[in-house]
Amino acid sequence: MKNNRNFLYLMLGQSLANIGDVLYIVAVISVIYDATNSAAASAFVPFTITSSMFISGTFTPIFIERFPLKQLLTWSQAAKTVLMFGLGAMLTLEQNLYLIFIVIAVIALFDGCANPVRQALVPYYAAEERLLKANGIAETITQSIQIGTWLIGSLLLMVFTPIQLIWLVAALFVISSLLLCLLEKVEHRSKKQGNTWSKLTKGWQTIKVTPVLKILVKMEFLETIAGSVWIAAILLVYVKQVLHVGEQWWGFINSAYFIGLVVGSLLCVRFSTFVDGNRNRFIVFGVFSTCLLTMLFGLTSLPLIALVLSGLIGFFGQLKNIPQQTVLQTSVPKEQLATVYAAIGTISTGVFGVSSLIMGLVSDYFGVQSVFLLSGALLLGVGMLAYKKR
């Protein structure tokens, strides 16, 4: 009963934080675009966030060893809350773009620390036999927020000014911080390491000596490269040049993908016992399915078919992601999870940033359809690895 309450606080607190994250990015992008009338300047917002999260993910293991997990999570959210009030005050007084980007970068530093900690806390607040179901619920909530908040954020800008939206986010962050403070402390016994380098590489060391983790990291590496084809820049070109439809179809295809993710999450929650008992089969089947569907997506020029394929890619991708997440969480002691997540997060962030640029260049030189075929080929490699090492 106590664990259920803690899991509820964690989900509610993180959900409000996630909603706030999306709304504040919408508001900041609007402010920057209004000030500069430059799409490139607006696009620098996600780049700044990704770069900061990569940096903080690298140094997070040091903090994980020194502080309790619950304390790290609540402190990082409290710091984001203070920064959000500061951003609101700054935008009210004057709009200094350099300061805005500095604040965005610092907020992302705290996010980069909080994300692996939040993921590592789930096994503490959910019994192992219910872990897959807990992961399914967490994914359902997260993806539902992704679907709804970007749309709602755009609509809210029709009612509120960007500055008013920032103040709303600050209020959400306050409630989120209070909910996270209600979490029980967890016993997190981390083996002390001698020097700074060993602390920084602690997650990597765990991965190196754990065969299952080495396989999962290889899969994550290839999947991250494959997933970089879904960035807005490439998808917009696909919509215009291949489907020959308006920009609104970019929104439709994105929404279909996220709806597929939510349906896949709900299915895992509903049949959690069956999925948990067949984790390997779901991972292998999910990878090969998304591989085939991604290739078909790249080859089709029919908007409705592309829409359906996008939803199916999200659906089968989630049937793989949730069991894969559960395998990771049960492959090492809970005390080592936070540093492992920090290491994997660093890989994902860094690889995604570089591969997005590479995929953009491939799209320019060989056509946008080629990148989806390349993505499918990479997923085929992931599927073969998963099948061989199942």
Give the pTM.
Answer: 0.74
Do 168 and 284 share a domain, yes or no? no
**CB of 64 within 8 A of CB of 338?**
yes
- The residue that leads in pLDDT, 378 or 232, is 378
pLDDT of residue 1: 46
The predicted structure's pLDDT at residue 291: 93
Question: pLDDT digits over 254-264, tens only?
Answer: 778 888 888 98
Two tokens, residue 119: 């993921």
Same domain, 298 and 384: yes
C-alpha–C-alpha distance, residues 299 and 180, integer Å? 46
pLDDT on residue 302: 92
Contact assessment for residue 54 and residue 112, using Cβ atoms and an 8 Å cutoff: yes
Regarding whether 344 and 275 lie in a shared domain, the answer is yes
Asked if the model's pLDDT at residue 212 lies above 60, the reply is: yes
Overall average pLDDT of the 249-273 stretch: 84
What is the torsional sign of CA 379, 383, 388, 390? positive
The whole-number pLDDT of residue 388 equals 84
Tally of domains within the chain: 2
pLDDT digits (tens, 9 = 90+) for 309-353: 999 999 999 888 888 888 888 887 777 777 787 788 778 877 877
- CATH no. for residue 298? 1.20.1250.20
Q: Which of 251 and 116 is assigned the larger pLDDT?
A: 116
Residue 227 lies in domain: 201-388
Percent of the chain surpassing pLDDT 70: 92
Banded model confidence at residue 278, pLDDT cuts 50, 70, 90: confident
| Six token digits for residue 82 | 């203070």
Predicted confidence (pLDDT) at residue 208 exceeds the cutoff of 70: yes
Query: How large a percentage of the chain has pLDDT more than 90?
Result: 20
Assign residue 38 a region: left if phi > 0, alpha if psi is -120 to 50, beta otherwise?
Answer: beta
The answer as to whether 189 is a domain residue is no
Query: Mind giving me the DSSP string for 132-161?
Result: HHHHHHHHHHHHHHHHHHHHHHHHHHHHS-
Identify which has the larger pLDDT, 304 or 185.
Answer: 304
> Are both 340 and 243 inside the same structural domain?
yes
Question: Is the Cβ–Cβ distance between 131 and 74 less than 8 Å?
Answer: no
Whether residue 207 sits in one domain with residue 178: no
Q: Pull the structure tokens for residue 160.
A: 């509120």
- Give the residue with greater pLDDT, 102 vs 45: 102
Q: What are the pLDDT digits (tens) for 349-374?
A: 778 777 877 887 888 888 888 889 99
Let me know whether 123 and 258 are in one domain: no
Residue ending a domain, choose from 182, 214, 232: 182
Does 288 reside within a domain? yes
Q: Which residue has the higher pLDDT, 380 or 235?
A: 380
The answer on 98 and 216 residing in a single domain is: no
More confident residue, 15 or 186: 15
CA–chain centroid gap for 206, Å, is: 22
CB atoms within 10 A of CB 235: 19
Please write the tens of the pLDDT for every residue from 106-156.
Answer: 998 998 888 888 888 888 887 777 788 888 888 788 877 877 776 677 678
The H or E element spanning position 282 is helix 279-299
In-domain check, residue 287 = yes
Count of C-beta atoms within a 10 Å radius of residue 270: 12
Are both 166 and 253 inside the same structural domain?
A: no
In tens, the pLDDT along 57-83 reads 778 878 877 788 888 889 999 999 999
Length of the chain: 390
Q: Which is more confident, 22 or 43?
A: 22
